[in-house]
Structure 1
Amino acid sequence: MPRILTLLATLVLGLLPATGTAPVTVPVGAQFTDTAGNLLHAHGGGVLKVGSSYYWFGENRNADGTFRYVSAYRSTDLRTWEFRNHVLTQSSAAELQVANIERPKVVYNAATGRFVMWMHKENGRDYGEARAAVAVSSTVDGAYTYLRSFRPLGHMSRDITAFVDTDGAGYMISAANENYDLHVYRLSADFTDVTTLVRMWAGDHREAPALFKRGGVYFLLTSAATGWQPNQAQYATATSITGPWTAWQNVGDPLTYGSQPAFVLPVQGTTGTSYLYLGDRWAGGWGGPVNDSRYVWLPLQFPTGTTMTLTYARQLTIDTAAGTITPTGTGYDRLTVRHSGKCADVRNGSTANLAPVIQYDCNGGTNQQWRVQSISGGHVQIIARNSAKCLDVNGNSTADGAALQQYSCGTGTNQQWTLQDAGGGYVRLVARHSGKCADLPGSSTANDVQLKQYPCNGGQNQQFTRSEQ
């Protein structure tokens, strides 16, 4: 009998390797659609494996950014997602009629046989509540019963995650004290309340926590607190959840490739376990609605048992049966001016704002590599690899001859571009705010000539090729 119970618990928790799934290709930085062709809305979410299926829960917001649903989707391969249910809705509780519900995370309690959802709750008008909220269900994708919202042990609670340790203990991690502190709470036996504050980072100004365990080592991945704008992700490690923890260490590029951590998913299969970073590229970063956000999934790598790295890619091949994740492509392009054969280049490899974008002999430098990042309305941002700054028209000018430069990415339409087909494999870069083209003045073929904007005219000095580096 004990062996049967152990096997059942293992199946529910999804600890057995997946079987019968073929490898799939997952784009990086894209929107997803479900099997009905609808956009998949699981922003700020987390994934729970039950049996051979993965369940993805996340935010599905109204146009004004307030709470509409927590939506749930199911997949066996992490690419083909079936919509299952809006598991929490505005009608689930009176206090959800007008609210913000963010970062829902679902864990399974083996002792009670219930699924428990933790989330960040606000009143829908301002961010003064700073409360944690909890809901439960007897089925993973059924309607969740909303229990309450509260401040854990009297503390503010915003960005949130939940974690079940290998010994069955439950934890909730949340940003506190206006996001200046980060708290780790031990959960009650049924996972629906907090009992003790077991670890606190005071004054570190970290949010977006994602906690996982690998080889007996806890990894806590976080972001800084910069609103919708992405920033440098950092992580710390420990061999006990109560510490001591290491100092924060950088991972990824200075903008975490335009994303913020949401969750880290272990993908266990026949050849081992891979760890998949699930990040959100928030549409608020370019002034779009939350439901226009993109998903940035990347494999974490572990040079040692206590260090990790995160490298960008264009797409992933995920094999849930084997437990492998293979990145393909760097995700960075060289932009070559047609008439000169020279590359769009950040002068002298500068990382400073206002550094001119020029043409220069192509040399493979990271200041000649660009991430072309899709945003709302068919537009893109074009981001320099060496600096993580955006291609920008100086001063938001609409005038002819306004200079192109790099600048910290924001919501300005002078940093938003359309890739317009020019035929023959060439594209024009059309500035959204002005409708004008990136242009190499005078069709010069010399090095160190700054790009500017001019009315689009079909000239080869306004045409570029994209080639992956």
Structure 2
Amino acid sequence: MNFCKHPLKKSWIGGLLSVLILFFANKEILAQRKTIEPGAIWPDQNGNHIQAHGGGIIKIKNTYYWYGEQRRQGLDPNLRYVSCYSSKDLVNWKFLSDVVQMSDPENLGPGWVLERPKVYFNATSKKYVMYFHLDNKDYSYARVGIAVSDRADGNFKFVKSFRPLGRPSRDIGQFIDDDGSAYLIFEDRELGFHIVKLSSDFMSVEKEMSLINAPLEGGAVVHYKGLYYAIGSALTGWNPNPNKYATSRSLEGPWTEFKNIAPPETNTYQSQSTMMIKVTGTKSTTIIFMADQWRPSAQWDSRYLWMPLEIGDGKLSLPKPRPWSLDVKGGVFKILQNRD
């Protein structure tokens, strides 16, 4: 009778060995990352570089969702893609899906543009509402598009486009205040830098909060210890420039004069602002500068510069990028030494 068990035993051992070999072969992929390394390849759970460029992040309960432009190689050139990743710690990210795979929604023609997707969750409608810069090849259409989903991981369906306040809109940013109010930031080449409040269903603009008379894009806002901090970058296309900040006690202003967030000769360490992430924990609050390091000739290889800001009492500065760790529960970060 024993001879009947030997093949099963060998099969079981062989299967176990296969699993162990696969595990150790992929241990670098499976291992949890402990640090954020600005400017480095940032792999997801599959070992692929995260593709969420010009993106934004929302937190639902204990999960962060990162949405951004999907720029991997081999995409259908007639479609535009937005990807979604999830994380519990802002360090290790799981690719969920391409939540947008959109064909030209308004017959804008070859080279049409979908950039800087930002998603808001509406607690009343239970809808995920995505805003994005929608444009034609020569950037003259200059509108925001809206797509909606019942789920964080898509699929998002195109609903409409419009010009907020009737004004041209190109680069957009998002801001959600501590009371849950939702705001859109958009760049108007003729007038400046708009901050507008969204309607209760997040499907339109309710009113303008501020028009900052400055030629800025890549808008980001955070509310920290009684002050609003706004960051923007100059209008230099793909080329990085010295990003600047201003402060105000109210979103309605008045705003202070804009100042550099980093030594100007570094061009914000070769990056452009896209968002500030507020991590409030049991011990402290960390404000993360979230930026893109664009590589226009190789978009799929564009990198991310995330660093905790030095912020408070009306001052804001971006430290020299170095590896760092983050405890999201405590809201505490630690700067690590450079790796040689």
Q: TM-score, normalised by structure 1?
A: 0.61
Structure 1 pair 96–24 and aligned structure 2 pair: CA distance change class (3 A)? farther
Q: CA deviation at 1:168?
A: 3.2
Q: What amino acid is the match of 2:288?
A: L
1:53 maps onto 2:66 in alignment: no
Rounded Cα–Cα distance in structure 1 between residues aligned with 2:326 and 2:93? 14
Equivalent pair of 2:79/2:103 in contact (CA under 8 Å):
no
Q: Give the Cα–Cα distance (whole angstroms) in 2 for the partners of residues 102 and 163 of structure 1.
A: 17
Corresponding residue of 2:269: 257
Partner of 2:333: 325
- Residue correspondence of structure 1 range 376-387 to structure 2 within 5 A: none
Structure 2 CA distance for aligned equivalents of residues 139 and 97 of structure 1: 30
Aligned twin of 1:353: none
Q: Distance in 2 between matches of 1:96 and 1:58?
A: 21
CA distances 1:247-273 after superposition (whole Å, capped 9, x unpaired): 111111220011000111112222121
Deviation at 1:330, TM superposition (A): 5.8
Instruction: Give structure 1 regions of 4+ aligned residues with deviation exceeding 3 angstroms.
Output: 61-67, 91-98
Query: Would you say 1:297 and 2:306 are equivalent positions?
Result: yes
Asked if 1:182 corresponds to 2:190, the answer is: no
Residue 92 to residue 107, structure 1, CA distance change in 2 (3 Å): farther
Instruction: Show the counterpart of 1:336.
Output: none
Aligned with 1:81 (options 93, 105, 111): 93
**Aligned with 2:122 (options 86, 109, 114):** 109
The answer (yes or no) to whether the contact 2:189–2:215 under 8 Å persists in 1 is no
- Quick check: 1:315 aligned with 2:328? no
The one-letter code matched in structure 2 to 1:315 is P
Cα distance in 2 for partners of 1:144, 1:233 equals 32
**Contact 2:81–2:100 (Cα < 8 Å) also in 1:** yes
Structure 1 pair 94–205 and aligned structure 2 pair: CA distance change class (3 A) = closer
Name the residue aligned to 1:25. Answer: 35
Q: In 1, Cα distance between the equivalents of 2:208 and 2:64? A: 30
Are 2:205 and 1:197 aligned?
Answer: no
Q: Label 1:96 to 1:38 Cα distance change in 2 as closer, same or farther (>3 A).
A: farther
CA deviation profile, 1:327-362 (whole Å, cap 9, x unmatched): 22368xxxxxxxxxxxxxxxxxxxxxxxxxxxxxxx
1:245 aligns with 2:255: yes
**TM-aligned CA distance change 1:174 to 1:212, over 3 Å:** same
Output the CA distance in 1 between the equivalents of 2:70 and 2:78. 9
The 2-side partners of 1:67 and 1:283 are apart by 20
- Take 2:295 and 2:217, find their aligned partners in 1: how far apart are those partners? 18
In structure 1, what is the equivalent of residue 183 of structure 2?
Answer: 171
- TM-aligned CA deviation for residue 220 of structure 1: 0.7
Note the aligned Cα RMSD (angstroms).
2.3
CA contact (8 A) 1:122 1:128 kept: yes
Q: State the partner residue of 1:7.
A: none
Q: Deviations over 1:187-240 (max 9, x none)?
A: 1111111122231123x2111001111122111111111111111111111111
Asked whether the 8 Å contact 1:207–1:224 carries over to 2, the reply is yes
Which residue of 33, 38, 52 corresponds with 1:42?
A: 52
Q: Which residue of 2 aligns with 1:227?
A: 237
Instruction: Report the Cα distance in structure 1 between the residues aligned to 2:222 and 2:107, rounded to whole angstroms.
Output: 32
Determine if the alignment matches structure 1 residue 126 to structure 2 residue 135: no
* Contact 2:218-2:273 at 8 Å conserved across structures: yes
* Residues 114-133 of structure 1: per-residue CA shift (max 9 Å, x gap): 2211111112x221111111
Distance 1:209 1:58 in 2: 15
Instruction: Report the AA paired with residue 107 of structure 1.
Output: Y
Contact 2:44–2:50, Cα closer than 8 Å, also in 1: yes
TM-score (norm 2): 0.83
In 1: Cα distance, 2:315 partner to 2:140 partner: 37
Q: Which residue identity does 1:300 align to in structure 2?
A: L
Distance 1:272 1:96, change over 3 A: farther
Structure number with the bigger relative contact order (C-alpha 8 A, sep ≥ 6) is 2
Q: Could you say if the C-alpha distance between residues 67 and 127 of structure 1 is closer, same or farther in structure 2, counting changes exceeding 3 Å?
A: farther
Q: Indicate the percent of aligned positions where both proteins have the same amino acid.
A: 38
Task: Give the drift of 1:319.
Answer: 1.6
Q: Distance in 2 between matches of 1:66 and 1:105?
A: 22
